[in-house]
Amino acid sequence: MLLSGKTIVVTGGNSGIGEQICVAAAAEGANVVVDYVAHADDASDLVERIEKAGGSAVALEADITRAADLERLIRGAVDRFGRLDVLVNNAGIEDRHSLLEETEEGYDRVMAVNMKSAFFATQAAARQFLKQKTPGLILNISSVHEDWPMPGNIAYCVSKGGMRMLARTAGVELGPYGIRVVNIAPGAVETPLNASTMSDPAELEKLNDAIPLHRMAKPEDIADVAVFLASGKASYMTSTTVVIDGGSCRAASGCDGASRYAPTFSRPKASTAASHPGRLIFSSTRAAPERKASFSSSSSTSKKISRSFAAWSRMAPRVARRPSVVRMIQVPRPSSAHSARATRPRASMREIWCETRLFSQVSSSASSPCAAGDPAPRRG
């Protein structure tokens, strides 16, 4: 088992992602401490389920917004299981207000649960690791919004941005002691935090269309990564963030998009697939503010596209599941967009056509897709 004999404390462990981390860790042999501040029955039921499955767990109540309670939580874990190996700062809330709408009370509450608790729990865990003279791991369940703006939810984004720097700075400070700090940054996950979106079919479809894998993550998707990071198979990872978002962050130009759900991904229509046999078509559309076009040959965007081409040229043969020649074509924008000061359209379309051409088709130029007037293949 990956976590046999290890003790793991999970804040907010009686629901959502935290609950699944508890279940997954126990299944891999860990002793699990389920922290809760409300819904004690849910915590007790979780412990019972884990024990019936042959695992070991205990539920401990602690108000994670109080440093004294966090210290008591760590002591309780050590008193019960003899040591601490992993802390998961999982508890989190949001209030979905903009900068102009947020209140001091709302801001303080979000920061206390999301940021303050992670800071002082990390401190308490690190002190315990030093007392034990053992290595240790602190996992922070952050969010893609530690990097990616989410207008209308500013306090949440600020708290996750703080968690990002907590992992990076604490990881550097604690590294010499063998203590690692790693963030897990999920995208949209099927948890109570996203209940309002999941209950609105239109909003849910809009969200799914913005995710290349076309679905929200399940808590189990996050829990499996947490178990991997807590195992000995990830012992060289620290002071960094692991993003689990179905590709949505990279699809939105590297987490710098400002719209709530962007871009939109659609599957090729049957007629399109029929007219381009053997061709995989990916397209994205997103509304963008007016700004200078950046698709000149010397631009950073152009360099990013070149790297994307190289990545797809490596991946497309796997998609085809047999040796292939890969061709990448960037569909150009209107000629006016190539001017350094041209105004970018508010709604733009980018397409990358990743075409696989089987070696069995290369023997005859007449049967090659290049015979139709396409430009020469770009091979990476």
- Residue 249 is predicted with a pLDDT of 85
The answer to whether residue 1 scores a pLDDT higher than 50 is yes
Instruction: For residues 178 and 133, give the distance between their C-alpha atoms in angstroms, rounded to a whole number.
Output: 9
- Residue 321 is predicted with a pLDDT of 40
Beta bridge partners of 56: 31
- Residue 195 is predicted with a pLDDT of 86
Fold of 7-251: Rossmann fold (3.40.50)
Indicate if 156 belongs to the active site.
Answer: yes
Q: Give me 117's structure tokens.
A: 């608790």
What is the per-residue pLDDT across 356-372, written as a single tens digit (0 to 9) for each? 333 333 333 333 333 33
- Residue 318 is predicted with a pLDDT of 44
Report the mean per-residue pLDDT for the chain: 78
Residue 204's contacts (CB-CB under 8 Å, 6 or more residues apart) are 197, 198, 216
What is the per-residue pLDDT across 285-341, written as a single tens digit (0 to 9) for each? 333 333 333 333 344 555 555 555 455 445 444 444 433 333 344 444 444 444 444
Residues of the chain with CATH 3.40.50.720: 7-251
Average pLDDT over residues 113-123: 98
Q: Is the pTM of this model over 0.75?
A: no
Residue 339's contacts (CB-CB under 8 Å, 6 or more residues apart) are 293
The answer to whether residue 31 scores a pLDDT higher than 50 is yes
107, 156, 236, 261: which is the annotated catalytic residue? 156
